[in-house]
A and B are shown apart, each in its own frame.
Chain A
C-alpha cells in the first residue's frame, strides 16, 4: 500500500515540476539517443563493408587470381590481376578433381561494347563464366536467374545492377535483348544494386557494371578462349576451405612449373586485410560514443544537483510532517527510476529515428544491437539514479530542521 502511495507521490512530484523533470529526462534522452544511433550507424557501416568484402567470395569458396597480389599492403586488388593472365583452362581441369571441390568456374573479361538497340555503351564489364560462379558469390537477383547448364553455348546474358540501369533504366530487363560484337543476347536475369557506400572497399573491379555471358558463347563470339582473369572454386563446406586452398596452391605451383604466379584468396584472407581498417573504425566509433555518453551523464548530473537545495528543504519538511527517512528516499528513488526509464525509452526511439534518417542519407542500413542499447540505457539510468538518490540520502540523514534551513 505504501509503495503504491510512494509511486503516486513520485508521479505527482514529477508532474508538478514539469520543467525540472523534463530537463533531467532530456539529459538521458540525449545521452541514450547519441550513443545508440552512433553505435548503430557504425555497426551498419561495418556490416556494409563486410558484406561487400564477403560478397567478393563466399565463405565456402576460393578465388584464384592471376599474378601475385600483396594483400597486406592492400595494393591493387583485383585490378592488377587484369592483364596477361597466368591461369589456364588446364588449371580448371585438375583443380576440379581435388577433394572437397564441387566445381571450378573460370572468370574471363572480354572486350566489346554493348548496344541496347538505341545507344552503344562501353561502361559495361563483359564477364564470361560458367554456372558454378553463382555458387561462389552472394548474388541478389532483382529478376530472373543466373546462367545454368542448359544455357551452354546460347546467347543469353545476366546484367549487374548498374549495367541494367544503364541499358534499360528502371524498366524490367527480363526478355529484352542487347547486342555484343554482332550477336544478339537475351537477358535472362538482372541483379539488384548494392549499397554504394561500401563499394570503395571492394577488392576488385566493381561487378555492378558486369554483363555475364556463358563461357562457351564468349569463346564463340571472340573466336578464341578468352584469357582467364580468375578461377572461382566452389568447396563443399566452409570448414574445408583452408585445406583445399593449401592443396590448390601446391597443385598449381607444380602445374605452373614451380612458379607461384597466382594468388589463392579465401574469404578470411580478404577479411583479414580490412580487419585493421575495421578495427580502427570500431575504436573511433566507440570513442565518439563514449564521449557522448559522458556528456549525457554530465547533463543529468547537473540538473540533479541544481535542484538539490530545493529538494533538501522538501525532504526536511516531509520528515517534519511525519514521513520516515525510508519513505522519503523511496519516493525520490522512484522518481529517479521513472525519469531514467522513460528518458531511456524515448532516447532509444529517438535513436532509431536518427540512425534510420542518417542512414538514408548515407545509404547505410543501421544495425541496432541489444548490447548497444543495453549499454546506453544502463549507463544513463545508472547516472540518473545515482545523482537523483545521492543528494536525497544526504538530506535524509540530516535532522529535519537542518534540512529545512538548507541553502
Chain B
C-alpha cells in the first residue's frame, strides 16, 4: 500500500484577485520508504502540492489517500493526530514560534502528544544535538541565524518519530556544506528508519541526491523518474535551472 496516493488532485485559489489554478490533474503515488524530490520553478505549484500532502491545505478536487485513508473523510482531531504522529513538516518560513525558546519549539509536538515533561525535554535536547544546536537550546528564534532556524525546524519535525517527513526547501537558506549535511541526514533517516521523505526544491543538485525526482510545472507533473510511474508526460521545454547556477530565495 502506498503511503501517499493522489488521484486527480486539483487546487483552485479563489481568494486572490482572480481564480488561480495552482494544481491540475495531479496523479501521484509515493510508496513507503521512498526518498523523493519534487522540483520545479517558482510558482509551479510544488509548495501547494506539498501543503496538500502535509494536510495543511485541502484540494478543491480529487482524492487524497494517506496510508489508504481518504483524508477528506477525516475529522479535525484525526487530522491533528496524523500531523502530530505521522508527519514531520519543515516549512520554508514561519517555522518557529517566536516567543518560545528553541528547545520549547522542538518540544511542542511532544506536548501535543501528551509526553511527560522530563521525557520530552530529554528527547528535544537529543534532537537538537542531532542537528548540532544543543548549545542554542535556550535561545530565542530571533537570536539564531536563518540556517540554524531551519535545522531547529528539522529537529522538531523528527520529534514524534514520524514515518513521513516533508521538507519545503530545507536547504534554501543554507550554504553548500550545510546543505549537504542536511540532505545526508535525511538520507540517513530514510535508510536507517525507513521513513518516507519528500523534499521540495528548485535546486537540481539537491534533487539528484534523492532516489526519485518528480518535476512540476504550471500545476502539473511533467516528469517522474520513478520506474513505477505509469504516466510520464514529457514536455519539450527544458528544465530552467542549470546545475551550476545557485538560486537563493
Complex CA gap A289/B114 in Å reads 46
Q: Is the CB–CB distance between A404 and B112 below 8 Å? A: no
Minimum distance in angstroms from A201 CB to a CB of chain B: 56
Q: Which residues of B contact A310 (CB under 8 A)?
A: 98
Q: Is the CB–CB distance between A9 and B57 below 8 Å? A: no
List chain B positions with a Cβ less than 8 A from chain A. 51, 54-58, 76-77, 79-81, 83-85, 89, 91, 94-95, 97-100, 104, 108-109, 111-114, 156, 160
Minimum distance in angstroms from B220 CB to a CB of chain A: 20
Q: Is the CB–CB distance between B114 and A322 below 8 Å? A: no
A306 interface contact, C-beta 8 A: no
Q: Is the CB–CB distance between B56 and A320 below 8 Å? A: yes
Complex CA gap A17/B97 in Å reads 12
Q: Is the CB–CB distance between A321 and B99 below 8 Å? A: no
A216 interface contact, C-beta 8 A: no
Complex CA gap A320/B157 in Å reads 11
Complex CA gap A325/B55 in Å reads 14
If the complex has contacts A325-B80, A404-B94, are A320 and B54 also in contact, measured as CB distance less than 8 A? Answer: yes
Complex CA gap A2/B84 in Å reads 15
B75's nearest neighbour on chain A, judged by CB, is: A324
A174 interface contact, C-beta 8 A: no
Complex CA gap A118/B197 in Å reads 106
Q: Which residues of B contact A318 (CB under 8 A)?
A: 97, 108, 112
Q: Which residues of A contact B85 (CB under 8 A)?
A: 322
**26 pairs, CB–CB < 8 Å, chain A vs chain B:** A2-B114, A313-B94, A314-B97, A317-B94, A317-B95, A318-B97, A318-B108, A319-B83, A321-B83, A321-B89, A321-B108, A321-B109, A322-B80, A322-B81, A322-B112, A322-B160, A324-B76, A324-B77, A324-B79, A325-B76, A327-B112, A400-B55, A400-B57, A401-B57, A402-B57, A404-B94
Complex CA gap A326/B79 in Å reads 12
Q: Which residues of A contact B95 (CB under 8 A)?
A: 317
Minimum distance in angstroms from B90 CB to a CB of chain A: 11
A200 interface contact, C-beta 8 A: no
Q: Which residues of A contact B91 (CB under 8 A)?
A: 320, 404
Q: Is the CB–CB distance between B83 and A401 below 8 Å? A: no
Q: Which residues of B contact A16 (CB under 8 A)?
A: 99-100
Minimum distance in angstroms from A274 CB to a CB of chain B: 57
A253 interface contact, C-beta 8 A: no
Of the residues B55, B83, B111, B114, contact of A9 by C-beta under 8 Å: B111
Q: Is the CB–CB distance between A401 and B56 below 8 Å? A: yes
Q: Is the CB–CB distance between A317 and B97 below 8 Å? A: yes
A181 interface contact, C-beta 8 A: no
Q: Is the CB–CB distance between A17 and B58 below 8 Å? A: no
Minimum distance in angstroms from A325 CB to a CB of chain B: 5
Q: Which residues of B contact A17 (CB under 8 A)?
A: 99
Interface centre among A1, A9, A12, A401 (most CB of B within 10 A): A401
Complex CA gap A319/B94 in Å reads 13
A399 interface contact, C-beta 8 A: yes
A323 interface contact, C-beta 8 A: yes
